[in-house]
Amino acid sequence: MRRVFTAVLSLTVALAIPSAAAAFSPGAPGLGDPFFPDQGNGGYDALHYDVAIDYRYDAQSLRGTVLMTARATQDLSSFNLDLRGLQVRSVRVNGRFADRSQAGQELTITPSGGLRAGRTFTALVEYGGTATPVVDPDESIEGWIPTPDGAFVVGEPQGTPGWMPVNDTPRDKATYAFAITVPKGKTAVANGKLVSKVTLGGKTTWLWKEDDPMASYLATATNGDFRFWKTTGPGGLPIYNAVDTAFGPEDQAAADEVLAKQGDIITFFSGLFGPYPYASAGAIVDDADFVGYALESQGRANYDRVPDEDTVAHEIAHQWFGNSVTLGSWPDIWLNEGFATWAEWRWGEEAGGPTVQDQFDRFYARPPTSSIWSPPVAGLTDPADLFTSSTYIKGAMALQALRVKVGDPAFTQILRAWFAEGRAQTVTTADFIALAERVSGQELSPFFDTWLFTAGKPVSW
Ligand code: TRP
Ligand code: ZN
What's the CA gap between 242 and 188, in Å, rounded? 9
- Percent of the chain exceeding pLDDT 70 equals 95
User: Which CATH number describes the domain made up of 25-322?
Assistant: 2.60.40.1730
In the structure, what pLDDT confidence band is assigned to residue 379 with cuts at 50, 70 and 90?
confident
State the DSSP code for 442: S
The CA-atom distances, in angstroms, between 94 and each of 109, 120, 206, 423 are: 12, 9, 27, 32
C-beta separation of 337 from 296 below 8 A? no
Please name the residues in contact with 107: beta carbons below 8 A apart, sequence gap of 6 or more. Answer: 80, 81, 82, 83, 88, 91, 100, 101, 125, 165
**Stated pTM of the model:** 0.94
What are 417-453's pLDDT values in tens digits? 999 999 999 999 999 999 999 999 999 999 999 999 9
Q: Which residue's alpha carbon is nearest to atom 3 within ligand 1?
A: 295
Q: Which residues sit with their C-beta closer than 6 Å to ligand 1?
A: 136, 138, 140, 156, 293-296, 314-315, 337, 387
C-beta separation of 66 from 164 below 8 A? yes
| Cis peptide upstream of residue 133 (ω within 30 degrees of 0) | no
Q: Which of 139, 302, 386 to mutate to test the pocket of ligand 1 (most atoms within 8 A of CB)?
A: 386
What's the CA gap between 39 and 155, in Å, rounded? 13
What's the CA gap between 451 and 457, in Å, rounded? 9
pLDDT score recorded for residue 201:
92
pLDDT score recorded for residue 188:
98
pLDDT, mean of residues 169-197: 98
pLDDT, mean of residues 213-235: 98
The answer as to CATH 1.10.390.10 being correct for domain 330-451 is yes
What are 328-343's pLDDT values in tens digits? 999 999 999 999 999 9
Residue ranges of the domains in the chain? 25-322, 330-451
Radius of gyration of the chain (CA): 24
Q: Which residue's alpha carbon is nearest to atom 15 within ligand 1?
A: 295
In the structure, what pLDDT confidence band is assigned to residue 131 with cuts at 50, 70 and 90?
confident
Whether the predicted pLDDT of 18 surpasses 60? no
Q: What share of the chain is helix, strand, coil (3-state, %, to 5)?
A: 30, 30, 35
Ligand index nearest the alpha carbon of residue 297: 1
What are 41-95's pLDDT values in tens digits? 999 999 999 999 999 999 999 999 999 999 999 999 999 999 999 999 999 999 9
Could you give the 3-state DSSP secondary structure of residue 332?
A: helix
Mean pLDDT of the chain: 95
